[in-house]
Amino acid sequence: MLITAFAAFFIVLNTGNIWLGLLAAILTGLVMGLLMSFISVTLKAEQGISGIGLHMFGLGLSSLLFNVLVGTVKTVTGFQPVKIPLLGDIPFIGEILFNHSLLVYGGFLLVPIAWWVLDKTSWGLMIKSVGQNPAAADSLGVNVDKVRYISVCVGAMLAGIAGASLSISLLNLFQDNLTAGMGFIAVALVYFGGWKPLGIMGGALLFSTVNAFQLWMQVLGVNIPSDVAVMLPYLLTIAALAVTVNRARQPAALNKPFERGES
Amino acid sequence: MSIKRLFFAAVLVTLLVAAWIPSPSITVAAETKPLRVAVIMPSATTDMAFSQSMFSALKAVQKEMGGEKAMELKYTENMFKVPDAAAAIRDYASEGFDIVIAHGSQYGASVQEIAPDFPETTFAWGTDVNTFGLDNVYAYTAAAEEGGYINGVMAAMLSKSKKIGVTGPIEVGDAKTYIDGFVQGVESVDKKISVSKTWTGSFSDVALMTEAAKTHIAAGADVLTGSSQSVVGSIGAAKDKGGVLWFGTQADQASLAKEIVVASQVYDWTGMLKDIIAKRAKGKLGGEKYVLQLKNDGLKVAFNPDYKLPDDVKAAAEKAIAGIKDGKIKVEP
């Protein structure tokens, strides 16, 4: 996310074209996805460790590129909010749901698309099979490495859009460690949502609602220590994970490299 | 597996090449023996706030002294993790740097532990006033409440909605004293104005700071201020909304949004740095504290020339500056 956020920001800063910026983020995400796939699928490295390594690589590289290529904090004009006619005029609800940048609408649109792909297509079935039992999938002629490569790369391109949504939509700037660990919250939300697109969306909405709630409590002067207020979203995440983690059916082969002939 | 070997060989070659590339640090002429200064900072040298204020001052002092031949300057940035910063402080001292600046109030315990091991090295740290009774430690801080008061006076006069939002990081140090001073400045003009404060619990979470600013704006605030390097997010939110004004601190933040930044309190460490260098040259390695104030020109209020500030507001700000300088106005930290 950090590298793609920088890529999008840098392109928009130099060209003024937000769509080129978004494309740069997607392509940068693809490159990172290929790197992650190469390390975890081809080299069969332990994925948790290589993931942490790639995160630190992204943190350092994005800071380096920012310092060398940009040098100081600058702002850009990114994606602007698009008010949906009629719906956007509904009192209260309209402002909350129908006055956002295209990337936000795209994020919501991805929920049914992801559900349809994963649950209703043969491609989704293949993704699930290599995640649950890659040996069985392999015996049925599924190219496990290819499916994993494509899945990781698609995920990385989506993470690329997430990075761009920060730097050229929500914040319209770049600074060192811009994401501030947001990607890890996203990983937690996948567990929280029980590996289902709809559940993950629900978790994301709940987390951000509590986050907004704690800010509003402070703005309205509710007598609660700020340290406690900022902890609320994270406390909720931990509590929800503690409750849901046992029933969440994570893929059986998660984090396990596949070697033909071993199972 | 050959592909694995090939990959690791490529990584090794890359690392060797990277190690061979000369670092961009300032080179030193061997024959002159310059003053060697190192600084460790919690954020980037370009953060438009705390770290940038010190780095800019060091560069200015270096230039004034005659450039790289007179003063070698090395820096380590983004040291949010104190153990990493402590290692950097010890490394610089071990390498024989004359002055090591630990620019962060979180580095105090590290300086207290390391400084006795290097009695020939001058350490400076802040923001705090504690030298730990050590003869080779200078401590420094900024009376941020003074500039906060000035900004508060102007904010109160410019707010039409009579609602002002404050986005802070953690309720400590100069982030807190700035905001305390700001509130006193607002109240000196109009006690009925509502000043809402939010704390994000982080010096670096730009996204949360942005959301905090948006929440203030949604609640009706038309003037915002805040402290820490993450306020760039708040400034961006105010700029995007339009019609919301911003008051900065630590560094001049006008370049981020020249149409909405009214003024910034600027930390100017140059006088303090020059004094430390001069005292070290005379053999005094530490044991004193510095407080940046308006009256010693360590604090300055930078009015944004691109923002058309009404004359009466500017006059009130200048009167408040004069009042603080001559002691007629007392601002509580």
Q: For chain B, which residues make up each domain, given as ranges?
A: 30-143+269-292, 144-266+299-325
The dihedral formed by the CA atoms of B79, B80, B84 and B87, expressed in degrees to the nearest 10: 60
Proportion of chain A above pLDDT 90, given as a percent: 51
Residues A99 and A207 in one domain: no
Torsion B324-B327-B331-B333 (CA) sign: positive
Distance from CA of A121 to the nearest CA of B (A): 34
Q: Looking at the structure, do residues A77 and A200 belong to the same domain, yes or no?
A: no
Cα(A98)–Cα(A93) distance, rounded to whole angstroms? 8
Q: Is the pLDDT of residue B17 over 80?
A: no
From the list B44, B198, B208, the residue facing A176 with the nearest CB is: B44
Gyration radius of chain B over CA positions: 22
Q: Residue A245: its pLDDT value, please?
A: 60
Co-location of A149 and A40 in the same domain: yes
What count of residues does chain B have? 333
Mean pLDDT, chain B, integer:
90
Residue carrying structure tokens 């993450």: B230
Nearest to B39 by CA among B24, B30, B52: B52
Tens of pLDDT along B159-189? 999 999 999 998 888 889 999 999 999 999 9
Q: Across residues A164-174, what is the average pLDDT?
A: 93
Asked if the structure places residue A254 within a domain, the reply is: no
Q: Which range (A77-91, A242-256, B1-15, B115-129) has the least confidence?
A: B1-15
Greatest mean pLDDT among A62-71, B75-84, B223-232, B269-278 lies in B269-278
A171 three-state secondary structure: coil
The mean pLDDT value for B268-291 works out to 95
- pLDDT attached to residue A259: 79
pLDDT at B211 over 60: yes
Please give the pLDDT value at position B313: 96
User: E strand or H helix at A158, and its extent?
Assistant: helix A144-165
B195 contacts B166 by C-beta, under 8 angstroms: yes
Quick check: B204 and A179 CB within 8 A? no
Q: Rounded mean pLDDT of B286-290? A: 95
DSSP 8-state symbol, A227? H
Extract the tokens encoding B157: 């006069």
Contacts of B82 (CB under 8 A, 6+ apart): B106, B107, B109, B110
Domain boundary among the residues A178, A195, A227 is at A178
Give the mean model confidence (pLDDT) for residues B59-87.
Answer: 93
- Residue A166 has its nearest CB partner, among B45, B202, B207, at B207
Cβ(B6)–Cβ(B44) under 8 Å? Answer: no
pLDDT on residue B28: 43
Extract long-range pairs of B133-137: CB within 8 Å, 24+ residues apart. Answer: B134/B286, B134/B287, B135/B285, B135/B286, B135/B287, B136/B285, B136/B286, B136/B287, B137/B111, B137/B112, B137/B286, B137/B287
Nearest alpha-carbon partner for B214 in A82, A100, A217, A216: A216
Residues A171 and A226 in one domain: no
List residues of B whose CB lies inside 8 A of any A CB.
3-4, 7, 43-48, 52, 78, 165, 171, 196-202, 204-208, 210-212, 215-216, 219, 229-230, 232-233, 235-236, 239-240, 255-257
Same domain for A131 and A72: yes
Asked if the Cβ–Cβ distance from B48 to A216 is below 8 Å, we say no
Tell me if A180 and B3 make a contact (CB, 8 A cut-off): no
Question: Residues near B111 by Cβ (< 8 Å), separated by ≥ 6?
Answer: B89, B102, B123, B125, B132, B137
As given in the structure block, the two tokens for residue A78 are 């990114």
Question: Mean pLDDT, to the nearest integer, of A201-227?
Answer: 89
Architecture of domain B30-143+269-292: 3-Layer(aba) Sandwich (3.40)
Asked if residue A263 belongs to a domain, the reply is no
Task: Give me the residue label for tokens 């996805």.
Answer: A33
Say yes or no: A124 and A136 in one domain.
yes
The sign one gets for the Cα dihedral B181, B186, B190, B191 is negative
- pLDDT category at B22 given cuts 50, 70, 90 is very low
Residue A240, number of CB atoms within 10 A of its CB: 18
Question: Residue A12 — pLDDT band, cuts 50, 70, 90?
Answer: very high
Other CB atoms within 10 Å distance of the CB of residue B311: 8
Measured between alpha carbons, how far is residue A203 from residues A102, A160, A191 in Å? 21, 21, 9
- Per-residue pLDDT at A233 exceeds 50: yes
Chain A interface test: which of B195, B240, B246 (most A C-beta within 10 Å): B240
Q: Do A221 and B210 touch (CB under 8 A)?
A: no
Say yes or no: A199 and A171 in one domain. no
Amino acid at B149: Y
Tokens coding A229: 């207020």
Across the A:B interface, residue pairs with CB atoms under 8 Å apart total 103
A179-192 pLDDT per residue, tens: 888 888 898 888 88
Name B248's bridge partners. B264
Give the CATH number of domain B144-266+299-325; options: 3.40.50.2300, 3.40.50.720, 3.40.50.300, 3.30.1330.90.
3.40.50.2300
Q: Is pLDDT above 60 for A98?
A: yes
Distance of alpha carbon A89 from alpha carbon B313, whole angstroms: 38
Q: Domain of residue A93: give its range.
A: 2-178
pLDDT at B8 over 70: no
Residues A96, A52, single domain; the answer is: yes
Whether the ω angle into residue B127 lies within 30 degrees of 0, i.e. cis, is: yes
pLDDT of res. A247: 60
Number of domains observed in the structure of chain A: 2
Residue B89 belongs to what H/E stretch?
A: helix B82-94
pLDDT over 80 at B30, yes or no? no
Query: Distance (Å, rounded) from C-alpha B105 to C-alpha B139?
Result: 10
Q: What is the rounded CA–CA span in Å between residue B201 and residue A214? A: 12
Q: How far apart are CA B9 and CA A233, in angstroms?
A: 44
Question: Which two structure tokens, joined as six digits, stand for A77?
Answer: 């004009």
Query: Across the strands, what pairs with B76?
Result: B40
Q: What is the DSSP track for B98-139?
A: SEEEEESGGGHHHHHHHGGG-TTSEEEEES----TT-TTEEE
Residue A260 falls inside a structural domain: no
Mean pLDDT over each residue of chain A, to the nearest integer: 89
Per-residue pLDDT, B24: 45
The helix (H) or strand (E) run that includes residue B70 is: none
Are A68 and A19 contained in the same domain?
yes
Q: List b or e across B71-85, with b for residues whose CB sees 16 or more CB atoms inside 10 angstroms.
A: bbbbbbbbbbebeeb
Lookup: tokens for A165: 């949504």
Instruction: Judge whether residue B7 has pLDDT over 70.
Output: no
Residue A240 has pLDDT above 90, yes or no: no
Q: Is residue A257 part of a domain?
A: no
A109 and A210 inside one domain: no
Look up residue B291 and give its two tokens: 């407080």
Q: How does DSSP assign B237-306, residue by residue?
A: HHHHHSS-EEEEEES--GGG-TTTEEEEEEE--HHHHHHHHHHHHTT-----EEEE-TTTTSEEEEE-TT
User: What is the DSSP annotation of A86-146?
Assistant: TGGGSTTHHHHHSEE-HHHHHHHHHHHHHHHHHHHSHHHHHHHHHHH-HHHHHHTT--HHH
Please give the pLDDT value at position B289: 95
Say whether both A211 and A88 belong to one domain: no
Model confidence pLDDT, tens digit, residues A125-162: 999 999 888 999 888 888 999 999 999 999 999 999 99
Question: Is the residue at A121 inside a domain?
Answer: yes
Please name the member of A38, A211, A218 whose beta carbon is closest to the beta carbon of B197: A218
- Residue A97 and residue A12 share a domain: yes
Contact (CB, 8 A) for B233 and B210: yes
Bridging pattern class, strands A99-100 and A82-83: antiparallel
